[in-house]
Amino acid sequence: MGIQVRPATPADHPAVARLTVEAYRADGQLEAETGRYADVLADVAGRADQTEILVAVDSDGGADGGVLGAVAFVLPGSAFAELARPGEAEFRMLAVDPSAQGRGVGQALVRACVARAREVRASGILIFTRSFAERAQRFYTRMGFVRAPEHDRSPMPGVDLLALHLPITPAEV
Amino acid sequence: MADEIRAEMVANVWKVIKSAGDAVAEGDTLVILESMKMEIPVLAETDGTVIEIAVNEGDVVQEGDLIAVVE
């Protein structure tokens, strides 16, 4: 199975909505304290103009056009930006279809975000994880992210967000 | 008595549900915010009429910013 990451098109939105909600639900991130966040996750068109939605697709095709995972790459100034200061980048709503996890899909999506961050000359890239999402934290740590506790937020009881940061080195010339 | 409803945290205005002139009951959703991996409804705190919705979809609100006025 080859994995290719490309910008999403409107035709991908239903698949992105479905797999993002399923991945969040499978990870226990859609409990009562987050409200109807599934509706936000499913509104792919509603973030398509303020973020860059990237999809990972199986080059062999398959259900949903082979879409296996998705992420929203975000720059400062977007309404969806929560962490990035000027000169930085972030990503949100990284999700891999539960049936496709463990195959490097998430890594391919994060690498694509890092590449975009490098293209726009960002000095670093940031991500929030839920405090209980230890698998996600290990995943980002393996990819070189380090904890950035100065960005941590606890917007309400039961929702504790841990920030991670990856410095971006300029492309070699 | 006018009731000013303000943002409790930095958030992205995801959906505007009600408009100026709409009649609302206590607990009705006026606006839906999105922030910090949560969906946050902004509710009318009294029965009345929406005088103003001070935000648009895609706006970013800071803590304390006016979202709506209900009278």
Please list the pLDDT of chain A residue by residue as tens digits (173 residues).
689 999 999 999 999 999 999 999 999 999 988 999 999 999 999 999 999 999 999 988 887 789 999 999 999 999 999 999 999 999 999 999 999 999 999 999 999 999 999 999 999 999 999 999 999 999 999 999 999 999 999 988 889 999 999 999 877 65
| Residue A85 Cα, gap to closest chain B Cα (Å) | 14
* β-strands B66-70, B23-24 pairing: unpaired
* Domains of chain B, each with CATH number or no CATH: 3-70 (2.40.50.100)
Q: How far apart are CA A13 and CA A118, in angstroms?
A: 26
Q: Which of B37, B40, B59 is the closest to A29 by Cβ?
A: B37
Does a structural domain hold residue A146?
no
| Residue A75 with chain B: CB contacts under 8 Å | none
Does a structural domain hold residue A11?
yes
Given an 8 Å threshold on Cβ–Cβ distance, is B9 in contact with A82? Answer: no
Does a structural domain hold residue A59?
yes
CATH number of the domain encompassing residue A63? 3.40.630.30
In A15-102, beta strands by DSSP E: 52-58, 67-74, 89-96
Residue of chain A nearest B58, judged by CA positions:
A79
The tens digit of pLDDT for each residue in B19-28 reads: 999 999 999 9
Does a structural domain hold residue A159?
no
Q: What pTM did the predictor assign? A: 0.93
Q: Which of B10, B12, B38 is the closest to A37 by Cβ?
A: B38
Compute the CA torsion angle A39, A12, A53, A105 (nearest 10 deg). 100
- A vs B: CB pairs below 8 A: 48
How many domains, chain A? 1
Whether the ipTM is more than 0.85: the answer is yes
What 8-state DSSP symbol labels residue A150?
A: G
Residue of chain A nearest B33, judged by CA positions:
A40
Q: Give me the domain span that covers residue A31.
A: 3-122
Query: In chain A, helix, strand, coil percent, each to 5?
Result: 35, 30, 35
- How crowded is the C-beta side of B21, counted as CA atoms within 13 Å? 0
Does a structural domain hold residue A57?
yes
Does a structural domain hold residue A44?
yes
Both structure tokens of A131: 């405090």
- The strand order across the sheet containing B29-35 reads B38-43, B29-35, B11-16, B60-61
Does a structural domain hold residue A153?
no
Does a structural domain hold residue A62?
yes
Given an 8 Å threshold on Cβ–Cβ distance, is A82 in contact with B10? Answer: yes
